[in-house]
Structures are given as C-alpha cells and as structure tokens.
Amino acid sequence: MFDPRVFRDEASLAAARAALARRGPNPALDAQLDELAALAERRRRAIAEGDALKARANASSKLIGARKAKGEDATDLLAEAGALSAQAAQAQATALAADAEFQARLLEVPNVPAADVPAGDATHNAVVRSHGEPLPSGSPKPHWELGQALGILDFERSVKLAGSGFPLYTGLGARLERALITYLLDLQAREHGYVEVSPPFLVNRATMTGTGQLPKFEADLYRTSDDLFLIPTAEVPVTNLHRDEILDEADLPLRYVAYTPCWRREAGAHGADTRGILRVHQFDKVELVWFTAPGHSLAAHEELTRHAETALQRLGLAYRVVRIAAGDMGFANHRQYDLEAWAPGVGKWLEVSSCSSYGDFQARRMNIRWRAKGAKPEYLHTLNGSALGLARTLIALLETYQEPDGGIRVPAVLVPLMGVERIGPKGV
C-alpha cells in the first residue's frame, strides 16, 4: 500500500508526486492524489471538530453537575450537552467515512519507484549484464513446429479442451515440463536454502488484495462463483503466509520456493505473439519469495536475482538481465529486474523471470511486520522472483537445443529426471 503518511504535509506529498511522476505522465493518478489529499484533510478536520465538541460537551456536563449540586435548574445545559454530543457523533461519522474512502482509494495508487530506477517508459529499460552467446536466428525452427513434429505439443486438442491459450503437453513434452519443475524446486530448496511450500491454487479476495492484484486488476483474473480466485502467480498465496503477523528479527530473512500453475486472462492482444505458447492463459511457474528487514532488501533483491540466474545458467540458456524503468514496472514494484532468455526459433528475447522488490508496499496491505530486539514493530520488505516461468523457458530450451534432424537434445541437468538424453523426431 502507498504510504498514507505522505498526506500529512505538503512537502511529503510533493516528494511522493515527484517520485511517482518518474513512472510517466498520468493525469488520472494526479487527480487521484488530489482526491486522497482532500479526504485526508476532511478526516483531520472532522476529528479536530469532534474533539472540540467533545471537550465542550464535557465542560457542559461538569456545569450540569455543579448546578444540580446547588439545586439549580440545568435544563438549558442538558439540552446544550445533548446537542454537542450529537454534533460530535456526526463529526466522528464524517471522519470514519472519509477514512474508509481514503483507505479504499489508496489501494489503487501504485508503488513509488526506488531512487536508482530509471525514469521513463520501456524504451529506458537497460541491459545490466548478459550470459552466454545467443544462437543466430533464422534457420532454427520455432517451437510450435518442433513441438508438433515431435508429438510433445498438441495445439488442436488443447483448443478443443479449453480454447486458445491453454497448452497441452504430451509424451516427452509432459515429462520435460515435470522434470523442469522438479529440477527448479530442488535447485532452490537444496542449494540456496529456500523452504518449499505447496500452497492453494485458489485464494480469497483478501489474499489477492494483499499482494496488489485487487482491486486494480480484477478484470484480468479468473474468479469463481463463490468469490475465490485462481492465482496468477505463487507470489499471491506465499507472500500472504505471514499476513497479520509480527516476525522476529532473528527469523529474517524468510525465503520460500513454490511451484504452482498460474492463470491470467491478459494473454496479449489478438494476433500479437499468440502462436505456440508465447502468450498463454495458463502456465506453470516456480516462484521465490523473500521477507526481510528493510535495511537488507537491496542486497536481498540482488541475491534473489542471482538465484534465478543460476537456473538459466545450469540449463545452458543464453540470457540477459534487464533493469526495468519506472514506467514499465509492475503496479506494486519498487525495483525490478527481468531475465530474458534467447529463443532463436522466434528470434526474440523472452521474459522468463521478473525479480522484484516491493519495499513495504505489500507488507502494509497485509499488515506484516518485524521487530528488532527491544524495538517497536515496523513493516518489513517483501520480494519475489520467478525461477522460472516454464512456458517461455520451454520455448527457449526447445529452440536452443534442436538438432539438424528435428530432434531435441535434453539439457544435461535434466537427463537424470527425464531418463533420456534426447527427444527424437518420433517423440522417443
């Protein structure tokens, strides 16, 4: 949640406006901040008015007692005290209504970019490092041709089952996906010390709100008739594990890894990257989630990103790390790197991971705090990153490891899990 304290004075609000402006021009957001400032002022005035009325009502009550003690008539004071109490109650109701509207609208304000995040739109994204030598594009086949020829991707039957955007892996294709999931989980849990969790795939409205999917992105989500939501990423249930908790400093950082299927309606415009499995409504993903003290979140972001990179390196894929500009970052993001793997068949860099730091933005929404010894609780910082998103990782693998006869060589780290060294033209 956007820090509500910035609405306490003009200087803080001006600084927040300047930081948010680095995301790009947004008249609607400017108007929203004006409305929030007005609501905050309305609440302050109503509280001050209510306190003054209560003080006057209390003073009248004392005078009433004094008159009654003397045997004097206090009818006028009783009427005045009653009127003052009613006015105070009305002021309190005004303050509560303003605060409720303020809190609801605050949920729609994006996070402030970190100071080192480049201003501007996607044209200001910057490659900070790369690994491996990208294979030349042109001659390699795209994954949809390879997958159909090898019998590991079935597009016709997937459309029959669910419509476009819902992949169907068959034979060694299904085994390859399963091997990838197992490998990625084991890598992070065994080598990097993450705690593996298997969360629910359906979550409630409060859980979606906590990580920032609601209320802004409800139209992009799959919702059931009983108001549960299919998760768009494991980040949602895993980051909510500690909602409304206070964590001890000695327990931080907490680091989790989870595999889940993911569902998103916004799979791209019709005709844009819709061939094969470039943009899909359902995909599998292994996700990393961190909870850390604020002073350690910058280093944590770099470490988390390196952990995701390790997976790409072990799989032998060429990739690059891109620092995302403020205007291209996600709604809740404070700082973001994207990892893009090279897919020679389609001749594109494909985002296979987004590693993000949120500052205390999500922690405020979920009321997750930490406490140093002898100190008061404060909001901690959350981070997450894909390690990795499987659909596009599979694209990069199929197109990178294809052989002249149309077969696919299995990456060495996956051979023990696959039980084969290659997927031949007949799918064997």
Name the active-site residue from 49, 80, 351, 378: 351
Name the active-site residue from 175, 279, 335, 364: 279
Beta carbons within 8 Å of 82's beta carbon, 6+ residues apart: none
Cβ pair 363, 380 in contact under 8 A: yes
**196, two tokens:** 């593996």
Per DSSP, 412 falls in state: G
Name the active-site residue from 60, 158, 297, 354: 354
Residue whose structure tokens are 């609601």 = 214
Name the active-site residue from 23, 175, 255, 392: 392
Catalytic residue check, 279: yes
Name the active-site residue from 264, 364, 365, 369: 264
Q: Find, among 126, 78, 109, 71, the residue nearest to 336 by Cα.
A: 126
What's the 3-state SS for 222-233?
A: EECCCCCEECCC
Catalytic residue check, 392: yes
For residue 223, the cross-strand partners are 229
Q: Find, among 288, 309, 277, the residue nearest to 392 by Cα.
A: 277
Angle among Cα 397, 402, 405 to the nearest 5 degrees reads 160
Q: Find, among 294, 290, 291, the residue nearest to 304 by Cα.
A: 290
Do β-strands 195-197 and 254-263 pair in parallel, antiparallel, or remain unpaired? parallel
Neighbours of 261 (CB within 10 A): 13
Strand, coil or helix: 166:
coil
Cβ pair 2, 37 in contact under 8 A: no
Alpha carbon dihedral 231, 393, 381, 4, in 10-degree steps, equals -60
Alpha carbon separation from 71 to 57, 64, 66, 77, 272 (Å, rounded): 21, 10, 9, 14, 87
Per DSSP, 402 falls in state: B
Half-sphere exposure of 114 (CA within 13 A, CB side): 21
Reported as type and span, the H/E element at residue 180 is helix 172-186
Catalytic residue check, 354: yes
Cβ pair 260, 287 in contact under 8 A: yes
In 182-281, the DSSP E strands lie at 195-197, 202-203, 222-223, 229-230, 246-248, 254-263
Residues with catalytic roles: 264, 279, 351, 354, 392
